[in-house]
Amino acid sequence: MDAQTLGETARKLAPSVRERARQTELDRNVPAATIKELQEAGLFRALQPKRFGGFELPPTAFYEAAIELGAACGSTGWVYGVVGVHPWQLALFPEETQEEVWGEDPSTLASSSYAPTGVVEPVDGGYRIRGRWSFSSGCGHCSWALLGGIVVRDGVPDHMTFLVPASDYAIDDVWHVAGLSGTGSNDVVIEDAFVPARRAQPTASQLGGAGVHANPIYQLPFASVFANAITASTIGIAVGAVDAY
């Protein structure tokens, strides 16, 4: 799939996404049927490495697809923007970690919550983490979560991202809101979990990705790639509002 095809695919799916928009809000979650359509169309693989079944498209193509979906259903566009950008970040982890996520199933998805609201304890071979992370959009459709935490080294705090499998956390259904009510942005709760070093990484670091995948998109700054994914979804919502008016 190329950039043009990605946009065309998103536009073709927009009508069915729009038809489910009201039910999405009522259910407080993107329907499984919608996620399946996006999966089968390959939209979640836009930024995923080719080695693991992805397309390695320019981020701008991914953003345009998020705008199309956001215009049809704000919650669906938001979840696509957030969950769909995570394959890019996963590509920055060591190859062993990427194999762990996508080796058996390239369609595997991950949610996130980057605020460092949990407790992190460095231990031999990795970290132990526990706590509650809020606003994990689309988490009910995902098998992994990227969670933020602070690790202090020589007195200097460093924001880390910890990749945790669904078997290590529970989802607390707390998402009862007015805006973006269909995003299923519930809390991820961990009692106590061990995260091996291969699944922990400084959030701002590009170490690992550049060495595993040659495509320069994996050398872009994390803040730019992720922030624009959120922005694209929001632009889509605004476009949908203008269209409705």
**pLDDT value at 203 more than 70:** yes
Nearest residue to 142 (alpha-carbon basis) of 109, 107, 169 = 109
pLDDT of residue 208: 46
| Nearest alpha carbon to residue 146 among 157, 132, 136, 154 | 136
Are β-strands 144-153 and 110-113 bridged in parallel, bridged antiparallel, or unpaired? Answer: parallel
Report the pLDDT value the prediction gives residue 210, as an integer from 0 to 100. Answer: 56
The proportion of the chain whose per-residue pLDDT surpasses 70, expressed as a percent, equals: 97
Q: What is the 3-state secondary structure (H, E, C) of the chain?
A: CCHHHHHHHHHHHHHHHHHCHHHHHHHCCCCHHHHHHHHHCCHHHCCCCHHHCCCCCCHHHHHHHHHHHHHHCHHHHHHHHHHHHHHHHHCCCCHHHHHHHHCCCCCCCEEEECCCCCEEEEECCEEEEEEEEEEECCHHHCCEEEEEEEEEECCEEEEEEEEEEHHHCEEECCCCCCCCHHHCCEEEEEEEEEEEHHHEEECCCCCCHHHHCCCHHHHCCHHHHHHHHHHHHHHHHHHHHHHHC
Tokens of 54: 């992805």
Better pLDDT: 217 or 212 = 217
The phi-psi region of residue 131 (left if phi > 0; otherwise alpha if psi is between -120 and 50; otherwise beta) is: left
Handedness of CA 116, 167, 31, 146 (dihedral sign): positive
- Of 130-134, 145-149, 221-225, the poorest mean pLDDT is in 221-225
Q: What is the mean pLDDT of the chain?
A: 95
d(CA 66, CA 233): 5
What is each CA distance from 52 to 6, 58, 142, in whole angstroms? 18, 17, 17
pTM attached to this predicted model: 0.95
For 62-104, how does the pLDDT look when each residue is reduced to its tens digit (9 = 90+)? Answer: 999 999 999 999 999 999 999 999 999 999 999 999 999 999 9
The pLDDT of 183-201, averaged and rounded, is 97
**Could you tell me if 184 and 29 are in contact, meaning their C-beta atoms sit under 8 angstroms apart?**
yes
